[in-house]
């Protein structure tokens, strides 16, 4: 897609800032927080936290974090308390946290959970001798982390686990990300998460921002009155790209300021 001009960017921001009810939905890792070798060490950069707080303070504005992390892990890294006004969508939209309501999850088949545990154990056994590879338990599957491994080790781990899943659970969904491959028996994606959040909040416009391959489903699903933002320089379905998390935080702060000004 062609790069929008500065004027087109300003127009897009002004349009969503003037909407009746705005939902700002944000990926976490790589969008608000730097990527960490130890995933549970991730935290929002202070500038990103300040921008999120400014959006929460703006009139008729809701903010959601949308992540592949399980809901329980997302709450930890987001430092999310029971009284937080933030909405959460974890596990790519298979589980939610709704302020005033709490955790909301879709039904789970016990047979799927049993297969998850069995496959995860097989993946751990298959990759146990490969340095730097870690299997992350997830509610609806598991992830194969290779950030701390060599390129050859990562390729071998992914080959072994791909073969396991293809043989034992070919119907599972496979997602790639930054040095991780995720496997899940649930097929929700960030596009369905955005659709559910839009319906729950009765939002008239949505801003969604993300940095990874799994965010592209959501970015591609946005409508003409929405705004998609990509963090990084890869090809994207987003309207706007920003180079890094500080630039993302700055853009969110601008949206918050314009939102408040437009609604005065």
Per-residue model confidence (pLDDT) at position 24:
98
* DSSP assignment string, the chain: -PPPPHHHHHHHHHHHHTSSSEEEEE--BTTTB---SSGGG----HHHHHHHHHHHHSTTEEEEEE-SS-HHHHHHHTT--TT---EEEEGGGTEEEETTTEEEE----HHHHHHHHHHHHHHHHHHTTSTT-EEEEETTEEEEE-TTS-HHHHHHHHHHHHHHHHHH-TTSEEEEETTEEEEES----HHHHHHHHHHHHT-SEEEEEE-SGGGHHHHHH--TTSEEEEESSS--S-SEEESSHHHHHHHHHHHHHHHHHHT-
In a domain, 1, yes or no: no
CATH number assigned to the domain comprising residue 99: 3.40.50.1000
Do 38 and 154 lie in one domain? The reply is no
Per-residue model confidence (pLDDT) at position 8:
81
Average pLDDT on 137-143 reads: 88
Express each pLDDT in 52-81 by its tens digit: 999 999 999 999 999 989 999 999 999 999
Asked whether residue 88 carries a pLDDT value surpassing 70, the answer given is yes
Asked whether residue 116 carries a pLDDT value surpassing 70, the answer given is yes
Express each pLDDT in 163-210 by its tens digit: 999 999 999 989 888 888 999 888 788 999 999 999 999 999 999 999
Q: Report how many domains make up the chain.
A: 2
Express each pLDDT in 13-51 by its tens digit: 999 999 999 999 999 999 999 999 888 999 999 999 999
Per-residue model confidence (pLDDT) at position 131:
95
Average pLDDT on 104-118 reads: 86
- Residue 171 is part of which domain span? 110-184
């Amino acid at each position: 897609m062609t790069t929008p001009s500065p004027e087109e960017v300003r127009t897009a921001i002004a349009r969503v800032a003037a909407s009746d009810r705005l939902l700002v939905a944000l990926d976490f890792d790589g969008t608000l927080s730097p990527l960490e070798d130890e995933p549970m060490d991730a935290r929002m950069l202070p500038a990103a936290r300040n921008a999120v707080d400014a959006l929460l303070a703006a009139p008729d504005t809701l903010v959601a974090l949308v992540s592949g992390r399980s809901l329980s892990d997302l709450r930890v890294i987001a430092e999310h308390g029971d009284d937080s006004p933030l909405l959460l969508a974890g596990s790519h939209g298979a589980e939610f946290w709704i302020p005033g309501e709490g955790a909301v999850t879709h039904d789970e088949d016990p047979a799927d959970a049993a297969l998850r545990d069995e496959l995860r154990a097989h993946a751990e056994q298959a990759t146990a001798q490969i340095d730097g590879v870690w299997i992350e338990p997830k509610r609806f599957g598991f992830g194969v982390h290779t950030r701390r491994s060599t390129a050859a080790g990562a390729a071998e781990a992914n080959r072994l686990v791909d073969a396991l899943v293809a043989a034992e659970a070919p119907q599972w969904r496979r997602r790639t990300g930054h040095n991780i491959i995720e496997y899940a028996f649930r097929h929700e994606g960030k596009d369905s998460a955005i659709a559910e959040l839009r319906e729950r909040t009765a939002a008239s416009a949505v801003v969604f921002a993300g940095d990874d391959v799994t965010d592209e489903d959501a970015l591609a699903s946005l409508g003409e009155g929405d705004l998609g933002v990509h963090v990084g320089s890869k090809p994207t379905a987003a309207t706007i790209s920003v180079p890094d998390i500080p630039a993302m935080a700055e853009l969110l702060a601008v949206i918050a300021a314009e939102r408040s000004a437009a609604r005065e």
